[in-house]
């Protein structure tokens, strides 16, 4: 028997983008369904979960969901730098707790959450606009009719692909990591490890979660390199490269694997009755491949814009455009600048990485943080590009501002 439902808004995908969209939409009083294909929200973890305390506070994520980070260490084959802050500015999220908290907020606001629902088809009207989705649930075929649909399915972009609006991301990052118990670790310090032995295109990492638990991983840029991140992770663990050696005995608890788009902001993200959010929209900072804060921030915007459109009974691409305008104004120029730095980093040899770390050593803490967060305020960058006391740093900032 086919189950059939009618909602104002159907959100496909229970990651941070989907839950956040469902939250603001339900809060504004419309009827919202959030659909997730796994057995529970965040059953599979596909991310390292690094984000910024400022964003955590903005979203109201509870303190028990993260481990704060004060020190940022980089290591290249023959160089090392640690940038320290007096207060914690970054954090490593307990991903399951955070994603479940986000979904719970949506549920408390009135959204209905359906798990074990794998959506694989779209329903169109006579104009070829989307008006629903269908898939399989615990009891067989299931159909959801809706005024607006949100594609929050992440990298796979299931809904936009089924509509024929997008094709597979061509440039992306592939990452593999272990969450593991270790003997020795400073819970306040993260490590980024660069150079050919760690990864030919990208970086490796150690992110502490507290209680002697860390995430150790390797990211590889595609198509730049054909190295398999899982294989490379095993190799660097066996060789106990760099700071990995200091961790002592490593006992894996869980393995994570994921893909993140890195094609820039190339996609249109509103269509008649359809919005793309989070990774399906390509909203990620390509420098360090982080997208969680954007998924939450712009998910919340999408929920509000969609509910306003539904209440006004006009849900075409024009009515939904304020969402795209909002996120483009907020991050488009920053992401474009970050791409230029990433292009420089992806081609560096080991010797050049050693030198790049010398440049990073010259950055003040706040300059470094703006840089790694891709928070490139243009006036700030112009100032630094012209008047930073160190020539090498001026060159780096010149690159960001586009000269």
Q: Which residues bind ligand FAD (CB under 6 A)?
A: 12-18, 35-38, 46-51, 117-119, 152-154, 156, 158, 175, 219, 258-260, 278-280, 284, 289-293, 295
Q: Please give the angle made by the CA atoms of 317, 150 and 222, to the nearest 5 degrees.
A: 100
Dihedral of CA atoms 276, 280, 281, 286 in degrees, nearest 10, equals 160
Complex with ligand FAD: residue 18 or 195, whichever CB lies closer:
18
Q: How far apart are CA 146 and CA 72, in angstroms?
A: 46
Residue 135 or 322: the one with the smaller Cβ distance to ligand FAD is: 135
Rounded-to-integer distance, Cα 324 and Cα 140, Å: 35
Least Cβ distance, residue 151 to ligand FAD (angstroms): 9
Q: Integer distance in angstroms from the first to the last C-alpha of the chain?
A: 62
Any idea how long the chain is?
403
Identity of the residue, 46 or 246, whose beta carbon is nearer to ligand FAD in the bound complex: 46
Q: How far is the CB of 169 from ligand FAD (least distance, A)?
A: 12
Nearer to ligand FAD by Cβ, of 152 and 384: the residue is 152
Nearer to ligand FAD among residue 102 and residue 341 (C-beta) = 102
The answer to whether 376 touches 399, Cβ cutoff 8 Å, is no
To ligand FAD, the closest distance from the beta carbon of 75 in angstroms equals 18
Nearer to ligand FAD, 15 or 77 (CB): 15
For residue 46, give every residue at least 6 positions away whose Cβ sits within 8 Å of its Cβ, in sequence order, or none: 154, 256, 257, 258, 259
- For the bound state, the minimum distance from the C-beta of residue 208 to ligand FAD, rounded and expressed in Å, comes to 13
The rounded Cα 81 to chain-centroid distance in angstroms is: 25
- Cα distances from 225 to residues 85, 171, 173, 203, 379, in angstroms, run 34, 11, 10, 12, 35
Shortest gap between Cβ of 319 and ligand FAD (angstroms)? 23
Closest Cα partner for 340 from 232, 240, 264?
264
Closer residue to ligand FAD (CB): 105 or 290: 290
> Minimum distance from CB of 154 to ligand FAD (Å)?
2
CA–CA distance from 258 to each of 44, 57, 176, 177, 217 (Å)? 10, 26, 7, 9, 11
Minimum distance, C-beta of residue 296 to ligand FAD, in the bound complex (Å): 8
- Would you put residue 248 in left (φ > 0), alpha (ψ -120 to 50) or beta? left
Nearer to ligand FAD, 13 or 243 (CB): 13
In the bound state with ligand FAD, the residue whose beta carbon lies nearer, of 148 and 393, is: 148
Does 214 sit behind a cis peptide bond, omega within 30 degrees of 0 on the bond before it?
Answer: no
The number of CA neighbours under 13 Å toward the Cβ of 88 is 19
Strands 130-137 and 204-210: unpaired
CA pair distance 341, 403, nearest whole angstrom: 12
Do 146 and 123 meet the contact criterion of CB atoms below 8 Å apart? no
CB 384 → ligand FAD: shortest distance, Å? 25
Nearest-approach distance from CB 362 to ligand FAD, in angstroms: 26
Closest CB 299 distance from ligand FAD, rounded Å:
7
Kindly tell me which of 207 and 397 has the beta carbon lying closer to ligand FAD.
207
């Amino acid at each position: 028997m086919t189950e059939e439902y009618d909602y104002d808004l159907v959100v496909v995908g229970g990651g941070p983008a989907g839950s956040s969209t469902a939250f603001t939409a339900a809060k504004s009083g419309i009827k919202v369904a959030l659909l997730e294909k796994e057995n529970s929200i965040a059953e599979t973890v596909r991310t390292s979960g690094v984000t910024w305390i400022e964003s955590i506070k903005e979203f109201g994520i509870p303190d028990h969901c993260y481990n704060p980070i004060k020190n940022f260490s980089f290591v290249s084959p023959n160089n090392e730098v640690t940038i320290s802050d007096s207060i914690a500015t970054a954090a490593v999220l307990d991903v399951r707790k955070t994603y479940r908290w986000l979904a719970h907020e949506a549920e408390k606001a009135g959204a209905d959450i359906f798990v074990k629902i794998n959506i694989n088809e779209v329903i169109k009207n006579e104009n070829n606009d989307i008006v629903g989705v269908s898939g399989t649930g615990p009891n067989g075929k299931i159909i959801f009719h809706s005024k607006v649909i949100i594609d929050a399915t992440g990298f796979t972009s299931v809904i936009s692909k089924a509509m024929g609006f997008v094709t597979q991301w061509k440039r992306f990052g592939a990452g593999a990591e272990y969450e593991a118990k270790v003997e020795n670790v400073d819970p306040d310090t993260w490590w980024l490890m660069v150079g050919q032995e760690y990864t030919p295109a990208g970086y490796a990492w150690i992110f502490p979660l507290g209680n002697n638990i860390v995430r150790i991983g390797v990211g590889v840029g595609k198509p730049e390199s054909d190295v398999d991140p899982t294989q490379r992770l095993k190799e660097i663990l066996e060789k106990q490269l760099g700071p990995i050696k200091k961790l002592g005995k490593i006992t894996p608890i869980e393995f994570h694997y994921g893909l993140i788009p890195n094609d820039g902001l190339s996609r249109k993200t509103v269509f008649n009755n359809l919005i793309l959010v989070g990774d399906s929209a390509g909203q990620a900072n390509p420098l360090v491949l982080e997208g969680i804060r954007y998924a939450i921030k712009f998910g919340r915007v999408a929920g509000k814009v969609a509910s306003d459109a539904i209440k006004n009974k006009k849900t075409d691409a024009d009515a939904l455009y304020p969402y795209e305008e909002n996120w483009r104004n907020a991050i488009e120029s920053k992401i474009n600048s970050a791409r230029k730095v990433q292009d420089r980093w992806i081609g560096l040899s080991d010797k050049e990485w050693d030198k790049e770390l010398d440049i990073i050593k010259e950055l003040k803490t706040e300059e470094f943080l703006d840089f790694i967060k891709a928070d490139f305020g243009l006036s700030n960058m112009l100032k630094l590009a012209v008047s930073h006391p160190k020539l090498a740093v001026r060159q780096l900032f010149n690159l960001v501002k586009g000269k």
